[in-house]
Chains A and B, each alone.
Chain A
């Protein structure tokens, strides 16, 4: 009998943390991406170089920042640069290995919406908007998306393309002149999706322990394809959980 218990959010965050490798340069969004990146840095990726869009390069905060511009990020960074510099000198030329994003909506080609739910000119819900996401999704070498899964969030077609994933399929990123590989992994509280090498459509490649495939498909707004080599996510370790809970204050 196992003594380690964990929540769906915890295995999502730990799985996302594991997708980051040591010494990567990672453009970190606030919220779940920031939590996961900070778990990674405290466990298997001590050399993770975290960039927040406030211009703090190489921040090593001793607690989770509430926002991308918290003082702790500036205090601990290798350097602090202006906003034009972080976008023009660091992001645009492709110096960042991975962009780590969340979203309100995502579709089968991993296009992301953080702008509006409903019609743009008469929205049902007005969301914060693009921020740095369009260029992070365009220019980082690859993108990892972390978000909770439901039919509201995983939709057949996003209401607004804030950031391009794989467009409408093969060849679209190249046609659009996007220099990075785009979203290579979508990690949720239920499992992991990756783009099919040929169709570029998201395929379920992994499920978390205790989650059955039917539940993932039921939480997806399109007919989600499932990989023949479906993986089972390794359970969070005691160490990973301890680090995560210390960070989120849920220890």
Chain B
């Protein structure tokens, strides 16, 4: 249950998998994304409502064949340039995209978590998203005759989220902006949770969200694993890092140097010490 991050990624994530690394500005599993890059995984279908800079990095590293998303940007800064380069110039590999609205993606996860084949929402009507996404269809309400949008359930092979704490049994505590993490986890075949710390017993926290151990496949202790996003109660968002990414992401050479540093540093440093300690 409690395993080092490199081991967890090796066991749970495979080439060609559909992988959701969720987090809505808060608690983004950045360290897990970097581990996927280090392990050189390929042909992934990456899923996330708000792909931000860690997805820009995964796409730039050539890990993804497809992206399923609703808003791809560097929050508060601008565009994702590796994502843009992949879409407009197929660099480093072509990237297929499947594009939704936030409401559409949220409801796809809700259907997935609910064991239903699809979800219904009042949305998408009149937008060009409908013509470009075969996963948005129209459905007539059997009671009122209203036309509504239907979207299929989203059930990732593996969902990865970051949380504040877990106990040694693998029960997970997560609080603050909770985004879509709970639904993404409950919709998935396998669930990896990276956490700031593993404790013997979880203290009750007001507004807590718990993923019970029975829906969690593995927990990896990765202190600081959400940085440069933030972990409420542990550390703040590093806004400067988001701004700094813009210059690196804009330039293929600068990005390649960044990538070499990430992957090179890993092979020299060996396994993550934080994971080994437990």
Are A115 and B99 closer than 8 Å at their CB atoms? yes
Number of residues from B at the complex interface, CB < 8 A:
54
Partner of B125, one of A30, A67, A138: A138
Is residue B123 contacting chain A, with contact meaning CB distance below 8 A? yes
**Residue-by-residue, is B121-133 near A (CB-CB < 8 Å gives 1, otherwise 0)?**
1111111110010
Are A135 and B176 closer than 8 Å at their CB atoms? no
Which of A161-169, A213-221, A241-249 forms part of the interface with chain B? A161-169
In B108-148, which residues have CB < 8 Å from any A CB?
109-110, 121-129, 132, 146-147
A180 to B106 CA separation, bound complex (whole angstroms): 21
Q: Which residues of A contact B124 (CB under 8 A)?
A: 134
In B82-106, which residues have CB < 8 Å from any A CB?
83-84, 87-88, 99-103, 106
Q: Which residues of B contact A53 (CB under 8 A)?
A: 102
Measured between C-beta atoms, what is the minimum distance from A80 to chain B in Å?
6
Are A161 and B103 closer than 8 Å at their CB atoms? no
Are A55 and B178 closer than 8 Å at their CB atoms? yes
- Among A83, A130, A133, A167, which residue has the most Cβ atoms of chain B within 10 A? A83
- Report how many A-B pairs have Cβ atoms within 8 Å: 172
Is residue B49 contacting chain A, with contact meaning CB distance below 8 A? yes
A82 to B102 CA separation, bound complex (whole angstroms): 12
Is residue B232 contacting chain A, with contact meaning CB distance below 8 A? yes
Are A67 and B25 closer than 8 Å at their CB atoms? yes
Are A128 and B177 closer than 8 Å at their CB atoms? no
Q: Which residues of B contact A179 (CB under 8 A)?
A: 122
Which of A12-20, A148-156, A170-178, A228-236 forms part of the interface with chain B? A170-178
Q: Which residues of A contact B182 (CB under 8 A)?
A: 82
Are A134 and B177 closer than 8 Å at their CB atoms? no
Partner of A71, one of B69, B73, B123, B176: B176
Q: Known contacts A74-B177, A172-B126; can you find 18 more A-B pairs with CB under 8 A? A: A56-B177, A66-B75, A83-B49, A87-B106, A92-B122, A122-B88, A126-B83, A126-B87, A128-B73, A129-B73, A130-B71, A131-B50, A132-B103, A134-B123, A135-B101, A161-B126, A176-B125, A178-B125
Can you list 16 A-B contacts (CB < 8 A)? A68-B75, A69-B75, A69-B179, A71-B176, A71-B230, A74-B176, A82-B182, A83-B180, A87-B107, A88-B106, A88-B107, A126-B83, A128-B72, A131-B50, A131-B101, A134-B123
User: CB within 8 Å of B: which residues of A?
Assistant: 30-31, 53-56, 65-71, 73-74, 80-84, 87-88, 91-92, 115, 120, 122-135, 138-139, 160-164, 167, 172-173, 176-179
User: CB within 8 Å of A: which residues of B?
Assistant: 24-26, 49-50, 69-73, 75-77, 79-80, 83-84, 87-88, 99-103, 106-107, 109-110, 121-129, 132, 146-147, 176-180, 182-183, 207, 230, 232, 236-237, 239, 242
